[in-house]
Amino acid sequence: MSLKTAALVLGGAAALAACSTTGEPSVQNREPIRAILSADVMMFVSFDTNGDLNISADEITAGIEREWTRADANHDGQVQPIEFQNWSNLVLGGSAMGPFRLDFDRNVDNTITRQEFDTEIQARVRDYDTDGNGVLSRSEFIRLVGQARPPSPLHRDGDTTMTPRGGRGRADPGG
């Protein structure tokens, strides 16, 4: 390529770049907010049986019952690892994103009881229910990238203690 051709190409590129500059805020500031959904959201959305795009406490209770029945495929009152894997593949789209089996099986005895199942799903409901009204709306499922859970505001329990609201309520493993 000759020097004259290279100069023309470079000049044309500079002219195009100048035309595209508008003086507005940088493109970086106009980028859409990046958000993620967890795999458990697919399950929660299926709980919305009346189609109002909100999941009420009654729909949550019915959904947990339905998912327990689906997870406990042999109906022996506990979910074994293979049953959990099958349920996870079917309901959550696989096991790559969680929730994971040990999120449910907190005592690591290789079985998930109905109580463990209910406890984990209810904890996830509390995590998502950011306004604390007992109803899950679609906007409560969205998390900004890098934000696994929104910070929990403190609220008063009675008149004496301050505790995080909507936390997982996990027992202290040391106590």
Quote the pLDDT of residue 37.
Answer: 74
113: helix, coil or strand?
A: strand
Quote the pLDDT of residue 160.
Answer: 45
Which tokens go with 60?
């949550």
Residue 73 to residue 47: CA distance in whole angstroms: 19
Quote the pLDDT of residue 4.
Answer: 57
- Closest by CA to 40, choosing from 120, 107, 112, 105, is 120
Going along the chain from its start, the domains and CATH numbers come out as 39-150 (1.10.238.10)
- pLDDT-flagged residues of the chain (< 50): 6-10, 16, 20-21, 25-27, 159-175
Find tokens 């919305």 and name the residue: 48
Amino acid type, 146: G
Which tokens go with 172?
């202290």
Quote the pLDDT of residue 157.
Answer: 52
Phi, psi of 172 (to 5 degrees): -70, 120
Quote the pLDDT of residue 68.
Answer: 98
50: helix, coil or strand?
A: coil
Task: Indicate the burial class of 60 (C-beta count within 10 angstroms; 0-12, 13-18, 19 or more).
Answer: buried
Quote the pLDDT of residue 163.
Answer: 43
What element of type H or E holds 1? Answer: none
Distance of CA 114 to the CA centre of its chain: 22
Residue 32 to residue 141: CA distance in whole angstroms: 17
Phi, psi of 163 (to 5 degrees): -135, 155
